[in-house]
């Protein structure tokens, strides 16, 4: 029998690439992570990590074991959800930004619905400011938005690099000022893009604004402007900006998953699933 916690730590190392990053992902010290990896190797009877310079890397057996670990944890999670969810009912209010609604959420909600067939999901997809206000008023059980700052009820913090994005068909402008498509304020991506360009003394202008990401996508796909999002916005005609534009570096975007205190069993089950799986699902 393999403790699922050992597998979670092993996958954190496989995805993070170092013991330090794995320790941060599972909220343990590097020495505790090392001890866990030693226990796991003893259980499977194989060397999974080997010295590589100043750090460690996966052995060929370790690389093969990654897929097994993912399947074991998924089966463990599905069994746990099914046992807990068979008789669960009620309502869950989930608030999320479009970043996740178009990428990771559909597959995870499908898994949850299979195990909790009697639970009703009320989904609110919108902007961080409005969703956070509704959450703080008790109208939302689970909140998945851009991080506003440390919070006691945070279950997960996701950090993803911001990217300059444009249409994969190219740009329809040949001007010295960089045209931007941005959401109406307040918006962390808008602020980051403007600050980066101003710091680099790069001329720009606001070429398109919208209260929704659908409007931003339309403006960018037309080729009249660029925007800043994470890799979750790639695809469907969107591509990373070419290097020859020599655009300034951008900060890392932070998203947080929060669970309302005393939200109940069903919201807690869904929040636990999201906290476990979102770090493994990119855009």
| pLDDT band (50, 70, 90) for residue 277 | confident
Of residues 279 and 156, the one with the higher pLDDT is: 156
Q: What is the pLDDT of residue 278?
A: 87
Please state, in angstroms and rounded to a whole number, the distance separating the CA atoms of residues 244 and 257: 36
pLDDT at 151 exceeding the cut of 50: yes
CATH number, domain 89-157+255-280: 3.40.190.10
Alpha-carbon separation of residue 128 from 124, 184, 222, 282 (angstroms): 11, 12, 26, 20
Rounded Cα–Cα distance for residues 131 and 140 (Å) = 8
pLDDT of residue 193: 95
Per-residue pLDDT band for 116 (boundaries 50, 70, 90) equals confident
The CATH classification of domain 163-250, taken from the options 3.90.700.10, 3.20.20.140, 3.40.190.10, 3.40.50.300:
3.40.190.10
Average pLDDT of the residues in 167-194: 87
Assign domain 4-83 one CATH number from 3.40.366.10, 1.10.10.10, 1.25.40.10, 3.40.50.300: 1.10.10.10
* Distances 101 to 70, 92, 139, 277, 278 between C-alpha atoms, Å: 23, 16, 19, 15, 12
Confidence (pLDDT) at 283 = 47
Nearest 5°: CA angle at 32, between 28 and 35? 145
Confidence bin at 19 (pLDDT 50/70/90): confident
Would the CATH topology of 89-157+255-280 be identical to that of 163-250? yes
Percent of the residues in the chain that have a pLDDT greater than 70, as a whole number: 94
Whole-model pTM?
Answer: 0.70
Write down the domain spans for the chain. 4-83, 89-157+255-280, 163-250
């Amino acid at each position: 029998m393999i403790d699922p916690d050992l597998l979670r730590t092993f996958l954190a190392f496989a995805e993070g690439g170092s013991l330090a990053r794995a320790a941060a992902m599972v909220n343990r010290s590097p020495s505790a992570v090392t001890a866990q990896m030693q226990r796991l190797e003893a259980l499977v009877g194989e060397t999974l990590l080997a010295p590589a310079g100043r750090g460690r890397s996966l052995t060929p057996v370790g690389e093969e074991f990654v897929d097994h670990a993912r399947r074991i944890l998924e089966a463990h999670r599905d069994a746990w959800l099914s046992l807990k969810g068979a008789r669960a009912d009620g309502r869950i209010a989930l608030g999320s930004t479009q970043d996740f609604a178009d990428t990771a959420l559909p597959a995870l909600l499908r898994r949850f619905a299979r195990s909790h067939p009697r639970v009703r999901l009320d989904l609110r997809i919108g902007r961080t400011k409005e969703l956070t206000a509704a959450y703080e008023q008790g109208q939302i059980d689970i909140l998945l938005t851009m991080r506003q700052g440390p919070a006691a009820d945070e279950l997960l913090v996701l950090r993803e690099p911001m990217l300059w994005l444009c249409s994969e068909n190219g740009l329809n402008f040949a001007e010295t000022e960089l045209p931007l498509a941005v959401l109406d304020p307040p918006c962390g991506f808008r602020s980051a893009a403007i600050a980066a360009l101003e710091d680099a003394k790069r001329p720009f202008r606001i070429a398109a604004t919208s209260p929704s990401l659908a409007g931003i996508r339309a403006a960018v796909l037309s080729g009249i402007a660029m925007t800043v999002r994470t890799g979750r916005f790639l695809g469907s005609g969107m591509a990373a900006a070419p290097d020859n534009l020599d655009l300034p570096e951008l900060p890392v975007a932070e998203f947080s998953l929060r669970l309302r205190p005393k939200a109940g069993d069903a919201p807690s089950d869904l929040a636990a699933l999201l906290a476990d799986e979102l770090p493994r699902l990119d855009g």
